[in-house]
Amino acid sequence: MAEPEKDRNKYSLIVPTYNERINIALLVYLIFKHLPDVDFEIIVVDDGSPDGTQEVVKQLQGVYGEDRILLRARPRKLGLGTAYCHGLKHATAKIFTQLHSVRKQLQTGADIVTGTRYVKGGGVHGWNLMRKLTSRGANVLAQTLLWPGVSDLTGSFRLYKKSVLEDIISSVVSKGYVFQMEMIVRATRKGYHIEEVPITFVDRVFGTSKLGGSEIVEYLKGLLYLLVTT
């Protein structure tokens, strides 16, 4: 029996958080504002934020409904990659997304739609020159060594069909910032249909980035690992 159209077009949006009490409210508001005709659920995976993030999410559940906003908390910080794995376990839709790419998937039927800052129409806002150069340099290095078939490896604005995500994630070992890069590289190697959409990345409204020197070292180690194993 064919699946009902509503079930086929439902999306699960996974949002990992740590100390995002103010930003999560703004993010949820913008999602509902810009996807008024899309059937979706937001799965917030919070890693034990001490700033009250979970309390804000519970308030948002009261506004939008617990069926639209699911809080799936963990006791402490366990890593970005494992947060997506945890969210996937609780997803009820057959398409999983990390925001923005829903309409492109409906048009093309792609297995993965990934946002890119590095094509016409894309870019970043709110970064200083050093951060732009660091990001661009890291991406060029990865492009040169890995030939991933997409222009932006480290962005987190992606959509996956659930079955595709389950297949790829089973072979991924990275758990931090390298997770995004490993996911897209392995998807390319497996021959999945990937589409790109231009995005303008806007730096966080409140708080500071959690990307630091240790993450840069992790990125370089991950790059070498993927060079050897893919």
C-beta separation of 93 from 41 below 8 A: yes
For residues 174-185, give the mean pLDDT: 86
Q: Does domain 1-93 have CATH number 3.90.550.10?
A: yes
For residues 212-224, give the mean pLDDT: 81
Over residues 135-174, the pLDDT tens digits come to 888 889 999 999 898 999 887 788 999 899 989 988 888 8
| Predicted pLDDT at 44 | 96
| Predicted pLDDT at 190 | 95
Q: How many residues does the chain have?
A: 230
Spatial separation of the C-alpha atoms in residues 165 and 96, rounded to whole Å: 8
Q: Average pLDDT over the chain, rounded to whole? A: 86
Over residues 192-214, the pLDDT tens digits come to 999 999 988 776 555 555 556 67
For residues 168-196, give the mean pLDDT: 90
Q: How far apart are the first and last CA of the chain?
A: 38
| Predicted pLDDT at 150 | 92
| Predicted pLDDT at 128 | 84
C-beta separation of 84 from 15 below 8 A: no
Spatial separation of the C-alpha atoms in residues 92 and 28, rounded to whole Å: 19
Spatial separation of the C-alpha atoms in residues 115 and 154, rounded to whole Å: 10
Q: Which two tokens stand for residue 157?
A: 């604005």
Predicted confidence band of residue 50 (pLDDT cuts 50, 70, 90): very high
Q: Where are the domains of the chain?
A: 1-93, 100-230
Q: What is the dihedral of CA 165, 215, 118, 15, to 10 degrees?
A: 40
| Predicted pLDDT at 38 | 85
Q: What is the dihedral of CA 144, 204, 54, 62, to 10 degrees?
A: -120
